[in-house]
Every structure is written in C-alpha cells, then in structure tokens.
Chain A
Amino acid sequence: MLLQVNNLHAGYGAKQVIHGVDINVREREIVAVLGHNGAGKSTLMSAIFGAIPVVSGSVFFAGADITYSAPSDKVNAGLGYSPQGGESFRSLSVIDNLTLGGFALKDQSQIPGRIKQVQELFPALYERRNSRAGSLSGGERQMLSLGALLIAAPRLIILDEPSGGLSPIMVDKMYEAIENVAKTLNASVLLVEQEAHHALEIADRAYVLGNGRVTFEGPAKELAESDKLSNLLLGF
C-alpha cells in the first residue's frame, strides 16, 4: 500500500470538517475522491499533505508515518501535492517554475535531467521555457503546474480539481495528460473532482465523501454505472 490514511480527523481551528476518514492508494493506481460541495474533499487532501493540522488519525506513505513530517520531507519521500486553485507562479519564467518543483530535493543535481523529461512529456513547456508563466494560457499553466510537480519524481501525485477553470476541450487534454503521466512515470494519482464524469473515466477506484465521512468506496466503474451515483454525490 503506497498511501494509507487511518481514521483521520481534521479541520480549521474549532471547526472540524473531516470525521474519521480511511482511504488508501496502491502503487500505480488512480483513485478519485468525489463528493458534494463542502463535503471536505479539499480539506482531506490538505490534511494528508499537512497543509492544515491533523487533529487525530495517521497518514502512512510507503510504510512510513508522515502525519506530522514537514512538507519538504514529504516531497523528498515522493509525495506531490497540487492544492485547489493552485497554479504556476505567474511572475516567474516557465523554466524557473519547473526548477522550483525541485526546490526541496536533497539531490539538486537531478533537476536538469528531470526538467528535460518533463519537457518531452509537454513540448509546449520547452518551446515557451523563457516566457513568463503569466503569459501562458490557462491550460498551459495547468500543464506547467503539473510539470513542476513531476520534477521531484513523485510516487503519488495528489491533484485537487485539476479541471478547475478550464474549458471542456482543455479538461479532456488535462485528463489525457494525467493518465499519460501516471503511466509513463509509474506514479499513483489521488485526485479530487467536483465533476465526476472525467475522474471516473480514468480512475481505478473511487471514494465518495459526504459531510466529512466516506459514504462510498469501490471500483470506479461500479460507481459510474450505479444509479445511486447522483444521490451519493448530492450527499443523500
């Protein structure tokens, strides 16, 4: 098991949002987390990465307890996290954005090779390497932010709403890219989506969150074909 989240409780100050969630991700698996607005999807992802404090429970990654380790240690362990609405750094060049993806790496000498690898995956990031990220299109910026994550060679990529703010055509491309990246790099993906259709198409398994608890867990296909899907997503 690559990621194992046990009985996690988390929230913001006195307001608890996640009430005892258990989820796990295996090697080379794509897992979708769905749920209604305010179900706690993003909170769960932040808590797994440690962007917000965990109240109780634990997060194990590749066998090690990382519940309270520093973000830089998590990056080095192979955990990549793209927060909701998180994007590229607009004032920096494409190449600087990619280089920062390896900021926390203990072995900085690997960065140039990895940048080359990412630019092969996304040729646009090579062509526009010296442009400011702010001058890229929304879709290109999303690719750049995904590309920057890959510089640290993550074994698990956590994506919080990768389709956020993108046009339907770009959403298709983004999902193609995620599937492609997972395959090429042998990485697992844990992704959060508001819109279930695309996520269930590429996912192996899915969880549905409702009011901070897991309300469904199973193969993505089963959930996609289930007539209870819309009820689950609405939180009933």
Chain B
Amino acid sequence: MEYFQHLLIMVLIYACLTVSLDLNIGHAGILSFGHASFYGIGAYTTAILTVYAGLDWFSAMVLAFATGAIIAALIGLPTLRLGGDYFILALFGFSLIVTSLIINMEWLTNGPFGIRGVPRPSIGPYQVQSGYGMLGFIAIMTAFIFFVHWRFASSPMKAALHAVRDDESVAMSLGINVVRTKITVFALGGGFAALCGAMGAFYFRFVSADSYGLQTIILLWAMLFVGGNCSLLGAFVGPAVLMLFPEMFRFIGGQGWDIGHIQEALYGLLLILLMMFRPQGLVGNKVGLRT
C-alpha cells in the first residue's frame, strides 16, 4: 500500500506544479523555464525556516509562497519585457544560477548534502505521520491550490490574461497594463510553485539541489503538454500518465531485461506520438495552444 500512497502523493504534488505552470504557459503565454527553480526555492525556504530557524510549519509554508512570489516578480520585472525565445533563455540562465547558488551557499543550504529533518506538519496536538496522514495533508493542499486556480479560470481576470497572451499590442490599446498583468501572474505562478516545494519538503523531509534542475523543468513541461493547456483536468492527467506509465513497466518483462532503457525509450516514443497526433494534449483545449 505504501507504494501506491507514494505514487499518489507524487502525482498530486506534480499536479499542483503543473496547474501553476499552466497559469503561466497556458493562460498567460509566459513560457517559464524557471518553474522548477521556484519549486526548489519553496522547498529550501521551508527547510531552512523549520530546521535552522525553528519556525512552525504553517508560517514556513506561507513564507515559502511569499519568497517564491517575490523572487518571481523581481526576475520577471526585467525579463518579461523580452520576446518569447529570449525570455526562455533568460529564465534558463536564472535556473542555472539558482542551482549553483544552492550548491555553493553552504552556510545557508548545506551545499550538495541538502538539508535533512524537515518536520512533519501538525495541527494542534495531532502530528501528521507518514502514510495516510501525509496523503490527507497533500490532498487538502492540492484541493486548495486547484480551488484557487478554478476560481481564477472562472473570473474576469482570465479574459484579460488570454487577451495579453493572444495579442499584447491590442490588449495594451484597450487599456490593459500588459507588463503589470504578466508580472502579477508570473509572481503567482512562482508563489504556487514554491508552495509545492513546501509540500514536497514536508513529505520527503529532505531537500537537495538536484531535485530542482533541468530534468524537473523538462518533466513539468512534458506533464503540462501531455495533459493539455488551460485545463484543470489536464493538470491531473499529465502528471498521472507520466508518473504511472513508467511504473507500469516495473511489472512487465522478465529477469535480466534491461528495463531502464526500454522504459525510457517507450516514454520518449509516447511523447513523440502524442505531439504528432494530439498536440493539444490528452484532455486539453485546442484554442489554448499558441500557434
């Protein structure tokens, strides 16, 4: 059972990351290559505040959100004015800097060894233990994050955001403050990614730099595009397929097979076929895609 609990928790955390990445990529057309870094910033903020500063879990989580949002706003301020491809490269540079800082700022981050012993969340006298308690905690957080995104997707803000995504100059001519809209939504995306980092830190009780690099960025993008843009359901489907699909291969094949390689090849094939035959994602919205 523990194995399934683990898989479910991972799917939920990645679903939260995907839905917050969708806020940037799907709704606002901000092709963020920094999402995994904000995820890492949230995880490290939580670990440092609870383990080193002895702060309670809830305050640490709120501060993780704020830190992610503020750093995203500061990074967005100069970079969101850049054109699409330049913005991608700038954010790629940002993510390299974040990884490098985490590894080298040993006095704060304990360098390549990471930080151990993040406490489990507790509500009153009840301390969340591993297993069902943790699954419940992550499920509640997921429900909260999806609720916020659902409220957003049914608010008038959405139309303004899609307008900015479709045509910035026309949006500006209607009096929409394009740069401010983009910075706000980028900061929110960064904040929610950091919140996911806090969730991950509470679950693993351990943070380390190599969980928040290039591989995670690519995985998150793949999850978003497999599930589909601008879709709450897609943000579940993408992570579920990409987390569970490789796991299925654990149960097939015989002894002596080099499962690892077959697994990765099939995984790659799945991505190629999907982009060829269903570019809008499994449950996504065709019009949400940028052409």
Contacts and interface: CB of A to CB of B under 8 A. Distances in A.
A121 B171 CA distance: 23
Contacts of A83: 169-170, 172-173
Contacts of A203: none
Interface in A79-128: 80-83, 86-92, 96, 99-101, 103-104
Interface stretch (A9-17, A68-76, A178-186, A208-216): A68-76
Interface residues of B, number: 19
A148 interface: yes
A90 B29 CA distance: 14
Interface stretch (B43-51, B140-148, B160-168): B160-168
B88 interface: no
B159 A104 contact: no
A72 B167 contact: no
Contacts of A70: 175, 177
Contact of A91 (B156, B160, B172, B288): B288
Interface string B43-64: 0000000000000000000000
Contacts of A74: 175
Given A87-B167, A89-B162, A92-B159, A103 B173 contact: no
B71 to A, nearest CB: 27
A92 B162 CA distance: 7
Contacts of A71: 172-173, 175-177
A91 B165 contact: yes
A64 interface: no
A100 B287 contact: no
A34 B166 CA distance: 29
Contacts of B288: 91
A234 interface: no
A82 B165 CA distance: 17
Q: B interface, by DSSP: helix, strand, loop or mixed?
A: helix
Nearest to A95: B159
A187 to B, nearest CB: 16
A49 interface: yes
Contacts of B162: 89, 91-92, 96
A108 to B, nearest CB: 9
Contacts of B156: 99
Contacts of B167: 86-87, 89
A198 interface: no
A90 B175 CA distance: 18
B174 interface: yes
Interface string A113-157: 000000000000000000010100000000001001100100000
Nearest to B178: A71
A49 B159 CA distance: 23
Contact of A86 (B159, B173, B177): B173
Contacts of A72: 175-177
Given A132-B287, A134-B287, A92 B163 contact: yes
Contacts of A100: 159-160, 163, 171, 174, 176
A101 B170 contact: no
Interface in B117-170: 156, 159-160, 162-163, 165-167, 169-170
A51 B173 contact: yes
A92 B173 contact: no
B19 to A, nearest CB: 19
Nearest to A50: B172
A101 B174 contact: yes
B287 A103 contact: no
Interface in A161-183: none
Contacts of A103: 160, 163, 174-176
Given A75-B174, A76-B175, A86-B167, 4 more contacts: A100-B171, A103-B160, A103-B163, A132-B287
Interface of B: 156, 159-160, 162-163, 165-167, 169-177, 287-288
27 contacts: A49-B173, A51-B172, A51-B173, A70-B175, A71-B172, A74-B175, A75-B175, A80-B173, A81-B173, A86-B167, A88-B170, A89-B162, A89-B163, A89-B167, A91-B165, A91-B287, A92-B159, A92-B162, A96-B159, A96-B162, A99-B159, A103-B160, A103-B163, A104-B175, A134-B287, A148-B174, A152-B175
Interface of A: 49, 51, 70-72, 74-76, 80-83, 86-92, 96, 99-101, 103-104, 132, 134, 145, 148-149, 152
